[in-house]
Structure 1
Amino acid sequence: MADVKPRRGLGRTLGVYIGLVVVPVVVAIVLLGGGDDGDNVAKAKAAAGPSLVQLLLAITVVVGACKIVGWLGQRVGQPAVMGEIVAGIVLGPSVLGALWPQGAAVLLPKAAIPQLNVVAQLGVIFFVFLAGLELNTRLLRGRGRLAVVVSHVSIAFPFLLGVGLAVFAYSRFAPEGVGFLAFALFFGVSLSITALPVLVRILHEIGLFRTEAGVVALTCAVVDDVTAWSLLALVVALTTASSLFGVVLTVALTVAFVAFLGLVVRPLLRRLVTRVPVARLQKAAPLSVVGVLLCALATEWIGVHAMFGAFVFGLVFPRDNVIATWLLDKVGGLTTALMLPLFFAYSGLRTNITLISAEGWVWCAVILVAAVVGKLGGSALSARAVGENWNRALQVGVLMNCRGLTELVVLNIGLDLGVLSPMLFTMLVIMALVSTAMAGPMATWFARRDGQNVVGLPPRTSERAAA
């Protein structure tokens, strides 16, 4: 008799569950199945973009490939960023898309590319902000004359060669509807870039960071970076403005923006970090991300690209405080680990080596020679002219010839604006890769000739004998 109530209670529970849960669900399924909305559901799924599974798979493939190839790059004496850029190209139509198109479509579906681009653009914005934040302007003390001369020669000389090449390349490679001025300006800027963050990494990895040649190269690269980004902002303004008045207005608004950050925002930030207690600054640190985004938004609205605003905000942001440390640790870590690999992959997906014809490969070689002669030759000659010996002058030249990630940022802007064709974009990406790959090995070779101790190089015979 004691078991009767539990059994009755169990049967009543099952009856209630079937009547009030199972039956309503079955009826709802029948009613929904009778509808005629299959096409609408399919259209809604297509409009919604890739599924979360597809997006997560694409991000996993990109980040994993960049880290693996970046590690392999370090094993052969290249900075990790070089391997990451190569990984992006391998994932694109040049390699994976050509050898295994079905697999490429699954791993990196076209529907996921726009979403990857959004994250990649955020990565570029934070990258250029951190580049501005990490610029050590104290390097300029006592070296102003050398820095200005070498850095500006390293921009002016390759820029001139780029504009000269554009005269002959315009009819062959310029997209339809693009004027010669915009095409030539972007061509010149593309040959004039030095990638400061990649240069810092190379100097650390080969042991030249604290040498005289390394400090000279960094000093010149600081001036080069500021000048190049400002020149790019001007070129974008000339390209996007529809009239002369529009160009003047864009330049005027840009100058006003820079002046506002330098004269108003910078003193306020300095006062904030010096007067507010450290504990409160730590809590307020995440708000600095909002400042980066607002500055990027401002210059995007002005018409000179979001990255310029982020870079200038990085220049005026106070250093050596808890907020700057938080930004470098938290934002820098996320940017390097996740966002920049996505940018490399996005650039690689737009780089299609199969587009280059036989004539295109000849032009690719000409562009590479002009870029190296202009940047390496101009930097070395000017460094020698202001007092450096030939070995150190050539070290400075090969280091200034490093283009890397910064070049990819510039090239993607040119492709997005329609100024560069996909074929020319691909040729310039190849030029950036080769010139960056040259920097480390050639710098160590010239350093060895100059008698410096360089990481990874054995001592010379005379040094071994002395030891």
Structure 2
Amino acid sequence: MVRTKQRLGLRAVGVYGLLVVLPVLISVVLLTREGGAGGGATKAAAAGHPLAQLLLAIAVVIAACRLAGWLMRRIGQPAVVGEIIAGVVLGPSLLGAVWPAGAAALLPDAILPQLNVLAQVGVVLFVFLTGLELNTRLIRGRGHLAVVVSHVSIAVPFVLGVLLAIVAYAKFAPEGVGPLAFALFIGVSMSITALPVLARILKDTGMFHSRVGVVVLTCAVIDDVTAWSLLALVVAVVTASSLVGVLLTLGSAVAFAALLLYAIRPLMTLYFARTPDPTLRRLAPLALVGVLLCAMATEWIGVHAMFGAFMFGLVFPRGNVVERWLHQNASGLTTVLMLPLFFAYSGLRTNLTLLADASQWLWCAVILVVAVVGKLVSAAVAARSVGESLPRALQIGVLMNCRGLTELIVLNVGLDLGVLSPTIFTMLVLMALISTAMTAPLAVVLDKRASRHKAALASVQQQPAVAMSRATPAGAEEHDAVTDR
């Protein structure tokens, strides 16, 4: 029986090779010999096919980002650090400099506009999911700490960024960009905390449910809302042609936000409460239509599409089958496919060869120092001022210094608007990468120190109690003696 099956298998392989593989090989040989010049033209046309090029580029980007993310996780870094590095490696900084022909074949200039469109859609969905994941209930009961730390960690870096921009304006501002627009964008870029990356770091380090984790997430929620509002304000100032235009844009943005908060959210909450789950599950994909419409509205208003997507996520009802469907479907598509395209597109615009001399690298170091001191130190000082211990305050400052993907989004907006030059864009991307990479290791070290500090403090507090308990019998005897007399 076994031999019969083996013979049949060999016969099937032989028939397949004779009647399928051999005819295919003969056809290839004949077409190659007879193709001549026309065959060469056909090959060139196939090689230059835009869809084929786009699919190849997407495959290369996703593979590179997944590999780099895996490598970073192996050394204790969040995957986003590796994905940002992968984007830089695929750009002119490394691949384009070492192997220009390979870079042109894998990521040709002709597909960049298509990559940009897909990347922008991915960013819109990511920002919506960020708003959807924000737990605004964290703010309750922690208002004083959250407001002080988050606003200090925005205001101080913003001021330092504006001062730095005033000094750097003559050297790095693009032609035709005014000092106000340039300073505002540098200030915002210094003020960012990346909430999604921060949440991932807290989960990876086991601090997500700790007290410091809850405190930092609370601060980051307020920070994110404030940062996106600041970005909308800056974009309105940059894109409007006059003061009246700025006021009109801001007024329209406020009206849009009020419409979502006080009209759309109550209606959605009421509808979700009255509609059975099977019906909601069938209608769940329409939530993506709402995301795109809100993004379109704020893009048309002039404060960028991301603001509309973020606000729609912020007001979207929680705890229903639609929210679960969005997390299960839109989240995976965004993080696995579209965000790597954004990293690659950002990397293609990050050119380290622009930092050609020592003075520019010195400027890069200055930007990094200003960013870290402004964010880390200000958040730590604010946390210390409201009663946190020094190790915990430093830990909060380190975690708030995480910039990640949110920083890249802001920087790409500035580059698209022409407010940032490619050189200053590259410097700021390096700042975002380094400040994100330093977050997890420093946070773990400081967490251990804070735990030791807490244990030492507890032991010191227990010693007087022990001493008093030992002294109690004598005191009690004395008290008894007095009572007897």
In the superposition, the TM-score normalised over structure 2's length comes to 0.83
Residue of structure 2 in register with 1:199 after alignment: 198
1:372 aligns with 2:372: yes
Identity %: 69
In the TM superposition, what is the alpha-carbon distance from 1:234 to its structure 2 partner?
Answer: 0.1
Task: Name the residue aligned to 2:474.
Answer: none
Q: Aligned partners of 2:308, 2:380: CA distance in 1, in Å?
A: 32
Q: 1:160, 1:188 within 8 Å by CA — same for their partners in 2?
A: yes
The aligned counterpart of 1:253 is 252
Q: Which residue of 2 aligns with 1:439?
A: 439
Unaligned ranges ≥5, structure 1: 1-32, 454-461, 463-467
Give the whole-Å Cα distance in 2 for the aligned partners of 1:134 and 1:329.
Answer: 13
What is the match of residue 115 of structure 2? 116
Q: Is the 8 A contact 1:50 1:111 kept in 2?
A: no
Distance 1:314 1:343 in 2: 20
Give SS of 1:420's match. coil
Residue of structure 2 equivalent to 1:11: none
- Give the letter for the 2:114 counterpart: Q
Q: After TM superposition, give the deviation of residue 273 of structure 1 in Å.
A: 1.1
Amino acid at match of 2:349: R
User: Deviation digits for residues 157-179 of structure 1, max 9, x if unmatched?
Assistant: 00010001111100000000000
Deviation at 1:145, TM superposition (A): 1.1
Q: Distance in 2 between matches of 1:452 and 1:158?
A: 31
Distance 2:81 2:325 in 1: 27
**What residue is the counterpart of 1:212 in the other structure?**
211
What SS does the aligned partner of 2:317 have?
coil
Superposed, 1:385-404 pairs within 5 Å as 385-404=385-404
For residue 373 of structure 2, what is the amino acid of its counterpart? V
What corresponds to 1:457 in structure 2?
Answer: none
Q: What is the letter of the counterpart of residue 271 of structure 2?
A: L
Shift in Å at residue 113 of structure 1?
A: 1.0
C-alpha distance in 2 between matches for 1:408 and 1:241 = 23
Task: Give yes or no for the alignment of 1:333 onto 2:332.
Answer: yes
CA distance in 2, matches of 1:51, 1:199: 38
- Map residues 56-455 of structure 1 onto 2, 5 A cutoff: 56-356=55-355, 357-451=357-451
**Amino acid in the other structure paired with 1:320:** G
- In structure 2, what residue type is equivalent to 1:403? R
Instruction: Describe the superposition over 1:423-452 as per-residue Cα deviations: whole angstroms up to 9, x where unpaired.
Output: 000000000000001110000000000127
Contact preservation (8 Å) 1:50, 1:112: no
TM-score (norm 1): 0.86
SS of match in other structure, 2:451: coil
Secondary structure of the 1:451 match is helix
Distance 1:280 1:375 in 2: 46
Question: What is the deviation of 1:359?
Answer: 1.1
Return the offset for 1:358. 1.8
Report the counterpart of residue 5 of structure 1 in structure 2. Answer: none
Q: Deviations over 1:2-34 (max 9, x none)?
A: xxxxxxxxxxxxxxxxxxxxxxxxxxxxxxx9x
SS at match of 1:202: helix
Q: Paired residue for 1:7? A: none
Alignment of 1:9-88 (within 5 A): 51-88=50-87
Q: Alpha-carbon deviation of 1:52?
A: 1.4
- Once the 2 structures are TM-superposed, how far is the Cα of residue 50 of structure 1 from its aligned partner? 5.0
* SS at 1:77 equivalent: coil
Match of 1:3 in 2: none
Q: Structure 2 stretches of 5 or more lacking a match? A: 1-37, 454-458, 460-485
The equivalent of 1:26 in structure 2 is: none
Instruction: Work out the CA distance in 2 between the residues paired with 1:63 and 1:130.
Output: 20
Q: Which amino acid aligns with 1:68?
A: L
Letter paired with 2:429: V
Contact 1:372 1:401 in 2 (8 A): yes
CA RMSD of aligned residues (A): 1.6
SS at match of 1:446: helix
Matched residue SS, 1:150: helix
Q: Secondary structure at the match of 1:304?
A: coil
Aligned equivalents of 1:51, 1:306: Cα separation in 2: 27
1:182 CA displacement: 0.1
Equivalent-residue separation in structure 2 for 1:187 and 1:81 (angstroms)? 22
Contact 1:367 1:431 in 2 (8 A): yes
Cα distance in 2 between the residues matched to 1:452 and 1:116: 49
Equivalent-residue separation in structure 1 for 2:250 and 2:452 (angstroms) = 46
Rg larger in 1 or in 2? 2
- Paired AA for residue 408 in structure 1: L
Query: Per-residue displacement from partner, 1:123-166 (whole Å, max 9, x unpaired)?
Result: 00000000000001111111011111100000000001000111
* Cα distance in 1 for residues equivalent to 2:144 and 2:311: 23
CA contact (8 A) 1:395 1:443 kept: yes
Encode CA deviations 1:395-439: one digit per residue, 9 max, x unaligned. 110000000000000000000000000000000000000000111
CA deviation profile, 1:314-373 (whole Å, cap 9, x unmatched): 000011110001011100000001000000000000000000132110000000000000
Aligned length: 411
Q: Distance in 2 between matches of 1:301 and 1:328?
A: 27
Q: Secondary structure of 1:175's partner? A: coil
State the AA in 1 paired with 2:376.
Answer: L
Classify the secondary structure of the residue corresponding to 1:218.
Answer: helix
Contact 1:156 1:192 in 2 (8 A): yes
